[in-house]
């Protein structure tokens, strides 16, 4: 596999539309929500501690994911959101590299990172990335830092 670069981004790259089309074809609408919320200004991952990161290979967008303040938890909790990797790049550690970068960013400000997924593949992936299953109504998986 070619080298993957993870970059913090401040604008949605035009290639997001290609990823969105692929995601919709797989039955996932969260990139559609990402684009709509970005355009409306509802969520631009720009509050303190938040970020949006993209994975590139040969200048081609192959993954994206965001980190926001978790609206369902205390201020020391982040939420991993809108993580998607192109099907052709799965199984090559692109998703794990992206999630690791997001978690590392979160660790500077937050005590906990939570997320929700509704697929067995997502469950296995996030557990592989170090998250634990959660029985919370607003999160399926959680990762704690430090003494939490």
- pLDDT mean across residues, the chain: 94
pLDDT at 148: 46
For the residues 109-126, what does the mean pLDDT come to?
A: 95
pLDDT at 104: 97
Q: Kindly indicate the confidence band of residue 75, based on its pLDDT and cuts at 50, 70 and 90.
A: confident
Look at the domain 4-144 and name its fold: Aminopeptidase (3.40.630)
- Whole-structure pTM value: 0.94
pLDDT at 110: 96
Percent of the chain with pLDDT over 90: 93
For the beta sheet containing 141-144, the strands, ordered from the edge strand earlier in sequence to the opposite edge, are 4-9, 51-57, 60-69, 77-85, 112-115, 141-144, 132-133
3 state SS for 91-128: CCCHHHHHHHHHHHHHCCCCCEEEECCCCHHHHHHHHH
């Amino acid at each position: 596999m070619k080298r993957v670069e993870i970059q913090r981004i401040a604008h949605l790259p035009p290639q997001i539309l290609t990823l969105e089309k692929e995601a919709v074809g797989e039955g996932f609408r969260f990139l559609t929500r990402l684009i709509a919320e970005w355009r409306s200004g509802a969520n631009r991952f720009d509050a303190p501690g938040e970020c949006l990161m993209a994975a590139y290979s040969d200048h081609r967008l192959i993954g994206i994911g965001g980190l926001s303040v978790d609206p369902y938890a205390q201020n020391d909790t982040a939420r991993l959101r809108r993580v998607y990797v192109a099907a052709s790049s799965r199984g090559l550690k692109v998703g794990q590299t992206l999630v690791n970068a997001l978690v590392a960013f979160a660790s500077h400000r937050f005590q906990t990172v939570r997320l929700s997924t509704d697929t067995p593949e997502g469950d296995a992936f996030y557990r592989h990335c170090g998250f634990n299953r959660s029985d919370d109504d607003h999160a399926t998986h959680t990762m704690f830092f430090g003494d939490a």
